[in-house]
Amino acid sequence: MIGGRSWKSVLVFSALASSAAAQMTDNLVKIGVLNDQSGLYADLSGQGSVLAAKLAVEDFGGKVDGTPIEVIFADHQNKPDVGSNIARQWFDVDKVDAIVDVPTSSVALAINEVTKSKNKVFLVSGAAASDLTGKACSPNTVHWTYDTWALANGTGKAVVKAGGDTWFFLTADYAFGQALERDVTAVVKANGGKVLGSVRHPLNASDFSSFLLQAQASKAKVIGLANAGGDTINTIKAASEFGIVKGGQKLAGLLVFITDIHALGLKVSQGLQLSSAFYWDRDDKTRAWSKRFSDRMNKREPSMVQAGVYSAVLHYLKAVQSLKSDADGKAVVDKMKQMPTDDPIFGKGSIRVDGRKIHPMYLYEVKSPAESKKPWDYYKLVREIPANEAFRPLSESECPLVKK
Amino acid sequence: MIFGISPQALMSQLLVGLINGSFYAMLSLGLAIIFGLLNIVNFAHGALYTLGAFVAWFLLEYAGIGYWGALLLSPLVVGLVGALIERTMLKRLHGLDPLYGLLLTFGLALIIQGLFLNAYGSSGLPYSIPEALSGGRDLGFMFLPNYRAWVIVFSVAICIATWYVTERTRLGSYLRAATENPILVQAFGVNVPWMITITYAIGVALAALAGVMAAPIYRVSPLMGSEMIIVVFAVVVIGGMGSIMGSIVTGFALGVIEGLTKVFYPEASNVVVFVIMALVLMVKSSGLFGKAA
């Protein structure tokens, strides 16, 4: 271990030396998009995130300070061991400078550690666990798009305020589901509600009728879905079949992506409330960007995760440009925190000391088939949650980087 | 109260387990026929189940043919695809170690899944429950959607019919004889190569039928087959490779056991089938209904 540490300090030293000489490592800025390319989260991240990163590189001009930028990608199969192996290989052998996206919180938490130990940069868009800027926060990580605290604060709070004061959770049994259940439980309790129970289902379970019957038997007013992607789709579909909503219980999709709504169809999903950081049809700028995206993506509109990848990569490149170096991951992230963020689709924002990117969140409701006028016309705005309310306040943070 | 849950809840979970079991039974039935009569380990079974669901979706989207038409047409189309696969590819592997067939069909499965994944994405496409079967009835202990009731009834009927044809009819006896001694059967004037093709086509048509039935419950997704195939193979192994009755009974039984696990220890619900497989193999390596090798 001593050998390893001194070797590392040599690396850090040489990195500092080279950054003083204003150079890019290997004469290349290399961005690795690591996500689910083939499984239940592939549509909300997958190739769409790769395209989003490429769009950011194109908009930046393809070069940072004369050094070319390259985007590569890999499939982590939603497995932490596969993900961290790829990350190690990318950092050690393939000269990757920053890893982007990484849905599936269990994988993201593993990459978070690898990135810190290698002093590179980790830009999270896909993963949700608020631990990434909480007790697991890292000086090398920026959590961009959304997190479980923001979802709880958006959808969770709205549902409790509308009278849903007793809850039962269907929770995906891994880091993300558990974090989401925890954060929503806190919101429910803080607003005078009660949690009657929960059932933990394996990731990628195909049939949810058994779990839904348990939720039904609990007599809770609200069934909170602390799962995502294909799992959420199957749950909502089965709930509609088993007459859960007709029976008087309300479904709260705590993390619903536009790609899920597309797969479900409006007939089944209408009326569902959801929190999102991005919707393609919000304003002229998001429409213009989304058109560029969908023209190259089989006419599919971008999810908030994919939009977040674009925005994060763009800001990363600006920081590297300003430092004239990509060598020291922590220095790049520090620079990203100093510079205000600004891009066409997320607008103006900032990154906090704990690595949390701050911007408004939006509470949407899914339109009925009659209200939808064109393809992918799925959401209507219920409420904008201003940036200063959307994310966990620093005063509640468990992040060691936050000085209290 | 039984183990902390009410009898009503237990009843409803048993029923839900049976519904899932009917898919396991229909899929493992096709596998058992193909393995029992052709000695092919058909790894493409899951992909052809997916294909069945997609054909139903294509029929609705491009030809306006709904669920009932698809229930007939999709197995026909996929059966023809199966016949084509057997004639052009599997036939060449006849007489070789079953491992070759396994590798070939596994490759085919990856190709089919990859093509659909590329064209339609992983989250799938919506497919509605037919009007006549929408809604449900209150059984007192649970609300049973009409469509799920239909799935149980129909799949039991299909399973019994398939068992009857292979075990009790002249056609079935030809098939079984052809697997025992193809040369002798051919000497009696039976066209054995075509019989093999037809058997394979029927086996995969059963997979397609299950795919159409699954489309309204889950969604039409490129991954639906790969999610199912491993469990279904476990069912076949537990039941005994090639045993038709074995695969039907184990299919339903494992659906029920998996359903109960979802109540008592939900975290383990996706591994319980494999635990049972390991236990059965330790005690009786030919499977519950298999003949000792």
Angstrom distance (rounded) from CA B258 to CA B83: 34
**B12 contacts on A by Cβ (under 8 Å):** 213
Confidence of residue A246 (pLDDT cuts 50, 70, 90): confident
Confidence of residue A120 (pLDDT cuts 50, 70, 90): very high
CA distances A67 to A63, A70, A73, A109, B244, Å, are: 5, 10, 20, 31, 65
Q: Closest chain A residue to B110 measured between Cα atoms?
A: A38
Q: How much is the pLDDT for A12?
A: 47
Q: How much is the pLDDT for B3?
A: 64
Are residues A206 and B129, on separate chains, in Cβ contact within 8 Å?
no
Are residues B267 and A214, on separate chains, in Cβ contact within 8 Å?
no
B264 touches chain A (CB under 8 A): no
A156 touches chain B (CB under 8 A): no
Res. A1: pLDDT tops 50: no
Res. A2: pLDDT tops 90: no
**In chain B, which residues have pLDDT < 50?**
none
Question: Which of B127, B123, B128 shows the shortest CA–CA distance to B221?
Answer: B123
Q: What is the DSSP letter of A155?
A: I
In a domain, B129, yes or no: no
Q: How much is the pLDDT for A17?
A: 44
Angstrom distance (rounded) from CA A61 to CA A53: 13
Res. A369: pLDDT tops 90: yes
Question: Could you give the percent of chain B with pLDDT greater than 90?
Answer: 59
Query: The whole model's pTM is what?
Result: 0.87
Res. A13: pLDDT tops 80: no
Question: Which of B282, B98, B150, B219 shows the shortest CA–CA distance to A40?
Answer: B219
Give how many domains chain B has, as a whole number.
1
CATH no. for residue B214?
1.10.3470
**A259 contacts on B by Cβ (under 8 Å):** 121, 123
In a domain, B11, yes or no: yes
Mean pLDDT, rounded, of chain A: 92
Higher-confidence residue: A308 or B183? A308
In a domain, B137, yes or no: no
Q: How far is A209 from chain B (nearest CA, A)?
A: 7
Q: What is the DSSP letter of A154?
A: I
B263 touches chain A (CB under 8 A): yes
CA distances A349 to A250, A258, A387, B207, B217, Å, are: 34, 23, 8, 52, 43
Given CA atoms B176, B180, B183, B188 in this order, what sign does their dihedral have? negative
Q: Closest chain A residue to B12 measured between Cα atoms?
A: A213
Torsion of CA B181, B187, B193, B195, to 10 degrees: -80
B146 touches chain A (CB under 8 A): no
Of A36, A206, A242, which has the smallest distance from its Cβ to B145's Cβ?
A: A242
Angstrom distance (rounded) from CA A175 to CA A179: 6
Q: What's the one-letter identity of residue B106?
A: F
Res. A18: pLDDT tops 50: no
Question: Could you give the percent of chain A with pLDDT greater than 70?
Answer: 94
Question: Which of A178, A199, A167 shows the shortest CA–CA distance to A129?
Answer: A178
Q: How much is the pLDDT for B1?
A: 56
Q: How much is the pLDDT for A404?
A: 64
Angstrom distance (rounded) from CA A357 to CA A122: 13
Interface of A with B in 207-266 (CB under 8 A): 207, 209-211, 213-214, 217, 229-230, 233-234, 237-238, 241-243, 247, 259-260, 262-265
Q: How much is the pLDDT for B39?
A: 84
Res. A328: pLDDT tops 60: yes
Q: How much is the pLDDT for A160?
A: 94
In a domain, B293, yes or no: no
Q: Which of A192-196, A377-381, B131-135 has the lowest mean pLDDT?
A: B131-135
Give the ipTM of the model, two decimals please. 0.86
Interface of B with A in 24-83 (CB under 8 A): none
Q: Helix B7-38 crosses helix B170-180 at what angle (to 10 degrees)?
A: 60
In a domain, B53, yes or no: yes
**A202 contacts on B by Cβ (under 8 Å):** 266-267, 269-270
Angstrom distance (rounded) from CA A342 to CA B198: 64
Beta strands across the sheet bearing A121-124: A63-64, A67-75, A29-35, A98-101, A121-124, A141-143
Give per-residue pLDDT as tens, A123-148: 999 999 999 999 999 999 999 999 99
In a domain, B181, yes or no: yes
Token pair listed for B171: 């056609």
Res. A3: pLDDT tops 50: no
Are residues B17 and A210, on separate chains, in Cβ contact within 8 Å?
yes
Interface of A with B in 9-48 (CB under 8 A): 36, 38-44, 46
Angstrom distance (rounded) from CA B82 to CA B84: 5
In a domain, B125, yes or no: no
Specify the residue for token string 């086509």. Answer: B201
Q: How much is the pLDDT for A21?
A: 42
B267 touches chain A (CB under 8 A): yes
Are residues B263 and A210, on separate chains, in Cβ contact within 8 Å?
yes
In a domain, B71, yes or no: yes
Domain that holds residue B101: 7-116+142-283
